[in-house]
Every structure is written in structure tokens, then in C-alpha cells.
Structure 1
Amino acid sequence: MDRQTISRIAHTDHPIAAPITDEAVARLIGRAARPEAGRALDLGCGEAGWLLRTLAAKPRWQAVGVDLDPTALNRARQTAQAMGLERRIGLHHLDAAAFTAKEPFDLVLSIGATHAFGGLAPTLAAAGEHLAPGGRLLVGDAFWEREPAQEALDALGAAREDFTDLAGTLDLVRAEGWTPVHGHVSSRQEWDDYELSWTGSLSEWALDHPEHPDSAAALAAADAHRAEWLHGYRGTLGFVTLLLRRTSAH
């Protein structure tokens, strides 16, 4: 199975592809999309869970999502239609780093998609190019909760320098010209719920489709991921979602 298919199945029961509860997502959106009307852009939107929640909460907002997974985008379109939001959202099958727009956005999001830009700093720079003066950026990225052991690095396929700690993450944000005005640090409970949902949904799909040619591969992928989490990076990898504004006028 390709990684996109595995991820899509694994997120069946946790459509926000990050270790964040629905309540925390609602709070972040409430702070990020304060004006009654506005335009939001999600760079690496997946199935557009953040955007659709924003549009549902803000009837006068419009949204644009960009992602490389065509199946995820099709599911986003289906969900938008079911919610009656299809006329307020545009979805583009495109590399997030290559997206351009004629008009800026009041809110730009990039949650768990900094790999598309090569890290947090280039993500901030790219997202900032799409932001209207006075607009807000909602970005989510991993950080080291503690010094990573080799087992954690091996499980994640990561290098020590791929992330810093929480203090270093906030220092980087400030150094790049942004001021955090709100945020959410995912708890151990949120991480555990997310990982159990991820591996559980994938395992259940495999057990429900024993005759499918990918059934064994899906079950193996779930088992491997569970082992990497429990014996590798659990308690080591953190996740923070930050609401940012430019420190100075742009």
C-alpha cells in the first residue's frame, strides 16, 4: 500500500491528521478566524478538516485548500457537499510550495505539513507570502519533548536536528518575525488517543477486508507503526499548534 492510502484509512476515525482533540481544534479556529468575514488558505489541507470546520463556524468565510493527494481532495469535496459548503471552498491538487493566488488571505493554515516546505522556518516564510496585512497564521509542527534516543530517531526516520525543543521552536518563530498570540501543546493523552485511533482504524480495515489484496500489508503497517510509537518515540515527540501574527507590519 502507498503511504497516502495508509494514512487515509488510518485517519478514518480521527479526520484531523494531528494529535489534537476536536475541542482544541474548535478553540484554535475560534481564535484564528475572529472576523465575521474572511478568506482562509490551508497549505497541505488533506481532507480539509480544518477548513470545513472554519466554514461551518463562520458562515461568511471562504476557503481554499491545497494538497497533493487527489483522493483526499475528492473526499473533502464530498464532505463539503454533504455539509452544504461546496460553494465556499476551492480545492487544488497541487504542491503546496507551488501554490499562488491573486489575493492574500486573512488566515493561512499549515498543520503537520512543514515537510512540504523543508521545515518550520521555510513554512513560515511561504505561508507569510499569502497572508494579508494583519492576518493570522496557524501552524502545527513537532518538537522534542525530551532528548531523542536512537530508538526514537530510528522509529521516526528522523535526525536529531530535524526538530528542536518547545523553547527552541518558539525562539525560531520569534526570530523569523512572528509573535505567538495563542496556541495548543498536545498532551500525552491526545498523542495516545491519536496513535491508538491511527493504528486501530488501519487494523480494523484490514480485519474487515480479509480478501483484499492489501489487507495483510495494512495490518503489517499498523503493527509496525504501533511498535515504533510504543517502543520508539512515545513521550519523546511533541506537537504544538501556534497562532501567529507578524511582529511588525508587512
Structure 2
Amino acid sequence: MDRETRSQLAHAGHPVAAPVGDPAVERLIGRALALPAGAAGSPRLLDLGCGRAEWLLRALAAHPTATAHGVDVSAPALAAARAAAEARGLTGRLSLHQVPAAEHADPDPYDVVLSVGATHAFGGGLAATLDAAGRHLAPGGHLVLGHGYWERPPGPEVVELLGDHADLPGTLDLVTAAGWTPVYGHVSSREELDDYEWSWTGSLAAWALDHPQHPDHAEALAAATAHRTEWLTTYRGVWGFVTLVLRR
């Protein structure tokens, strides 16, 4: 089973591909769309690394005049996004592009740019993500950035598994040093973090149990078990997640 298909199955019960619960997603979208006076009455949104485009779909549903563009390299994720947009009657306001997030080109700026849990798409981590997103943002616009941080000092096995991060104050220092000002933020709770991991591993395991004759059955069940073990024994209580609404 390829990684993209596994991810789609694992996110079946948690279409927001980050440890952020529905109430927080709604608040963050509301803050992002509360643009300064003089901003466009029909805001344009861009999600760099959109996955199933769940953030954009919820934003479009909340703001009937908005339009959105989602960028991702995953064909299965974009197919799921198209199906969800059609089911919600939003296809006319959502454009999807299968291209690396760092290569998206559009001469027109966006009022809201999102990149939640997708800093890996830019090669250089947080700094590269801020730089890439900033090139697409209209003056006075909002960037919604979701990124991991260390809740407590990690061991070497955690860094090897998840990459290097700063703690929460250090993460904010990196953001402000790059010229951004937080105007809102959400630190994912233990409940949100655990719900995301239980949903990821549980959805994948449930698919495997529901398809015992599928050739990928055993592989999917093993991947769910391995992920759950890594989470519970390696990074639970060490890794956290923050989502920021930023302006320049």
C-alpha cells in the first residue's frame, strides 16, 4: 500500500489532517476571514498542502462569497477533496491543483493563505514555509500556520522520528523574527492530540478488519499497530501542535 492511500484511509474519520478539533477549526477560520477594513468583499483563499481540502471546504461553507485554491501532490487526497466539494455543493468555488506546494504560481495575491501541518512540503521547515506563504499573501491578509513543537525536551529517538522542532516560545520567536505577528492562536489540547492519533490508527485498523481479503489487509493492520506503538511509547506528551493566525 502506498503512503498516499494509507493516509487517505487513516484520515477517513478525521478529515482535518492535523490534531485540531472542529470547534477550534471553526474559530480559526472565523479569525482568518475577519479581514481588515478595505479587504476584498469576496476573499480568495489558498491552502498550500491542502490534502482533502477540509479547511477550505469549511471556509467556503462559512463565507458564501469566498473562492479557494488548494494545492497538493497527492492524487487520492485531491480526488477526495473533489468528491467532498461536489457533495457539499462547493465545486464552483474551489479549484484544486496537483503540484508541489513550493511550486504553486499565481500572479494574484490571496487574502488568506493556509499551511497546516505541511511545512515538510517546503524543504526548509518553518522558515521556508513562512517565506513561501508570504509571497502569495495580499497586504493585510492572514496566514494560518499549523506546526509542531516540543512540549518537553525530546530524546534522540523522537527527533529521529519527527524531525527537529523548537518549544512553543521558541516557535513563536522564529515566527516573529521572520516578520510575522500572531493575532490569534490555538494550542491543541491533550484531548485533540489523542483524538487525532486514535482516529488515525483506528480508521486504518478498521479498514483492514473490514477488508480481510484485500491484499493490503495485513500491511495496513501492521502500519496501524506500528504507528500506535510509536505514538504511545515515543512521542505522546513530548510533541505538541500550535495553529497560528498571522499578519505581517
- The TM-score range, normalised by the shorter chain, is over 0.9
Aligned partner of residue 143 in structure 2, secondary structure: strand
Does the CA-based 8 Å contact 1:151-1:231 persist in structure 2? Answer: no
The count of residues paired between Structure 1 and Structure 2 equals 242
Cα distance in 2, alignment partners of residues 157 and 167 from structure 1:
19
Is it true that 1:141 corresponds to 2:147 in the alignment?
yes
- The match for 1:163 is 165
What is the aligned counterpart of 1:82 among 87, 97, 102?
Answer: 87
- The match for 1:31 is 31
Aligned partner of residue 148 in structure 1, secondary structure: coil
Aligned partner of residue 43 in structure 2, secondary structure: strand
Aligned partner of residue 66 in structure 2, secondary structure: strand
The CA deviation at 1:95 is 0.3
What is the aligned counterpart of 1:49 among 54, 57, 60?
Answer: 54
Cα distance in 1, alignment partners of residues 34 and 64 from structure 2:
12
- The match for 1:204 is 206
Q: Which deviates more, 145-154 or 27-36?
A: 145-154
Q: CA RMSD in A?
A: 0.9
Cα distance in 2, alignment partners of residues 18 and 79 from structure 1:
18
* Paired residues for 1:59-208 under 5 Å: 59-118=64-123, 119-154=125-160, 156-158=161-163, 162-208=164-210
Q: Residue by residue, what CA displacement relative to the aligned partner does 1:158-196 show, whole Å, maximum 9, x if unpaired?
A: 3xxx21000000000000000000010001111111100
- The match for 1:22 is 22
The CA deviation at 1:157 is 4.8
Cα distance in 1, alignment partners of residues 157 and 246 from structure 2:
33
- The match for 1:58 is 63
Cα distance in 2, alignment partners of residues 152 and 164 from structure 1:
13
Cα distance in 2, alignment partners of residues 8 and 74 from structure 1:
10
Cα distance in 1, alignment partners of residues 176 and 156 from structure 2:
30
The CA deviation at 1:3 is 1.3
Structure 1 runs (4+) greater than 6 angstroms displaced: none
Does the CA-based 8 Å contact 1:42-1:110 persist in structure 2? Answer: yes
The CA deviation at 1:6 is 1.1
The CA deviation at 1:153 is 3.0
Structure 1 unaligned regions, length at least 5: none
Cα distance in 1, alignment partners of residues 89 and 229 from structure 2:
40
Residue type of the alignment partner of 1:188:
R
Does the CA-based 8 Å contact 1:153-1:232 persist in structure 2? Answer: no
The CA deviation at 1:102 is 1.9
What is the aligned counterpart of 2:224 among 222, 225, 228?
Answer: 222
Does the CA-based 8 Å contact 1:153-1:233 persist in structure 2? Answer: no
Q: TM-score, normalised by structure 2?
A: 0.96
Cα distance in 2, alignment partners of residues 233 and 210 from structure 1:
30
Cα distance in 1, alignment partners of residues 24 and 115 from structure 2:
16
Cα distance in 2, alignment partners of residues 238 and 170 from structure 1:
14
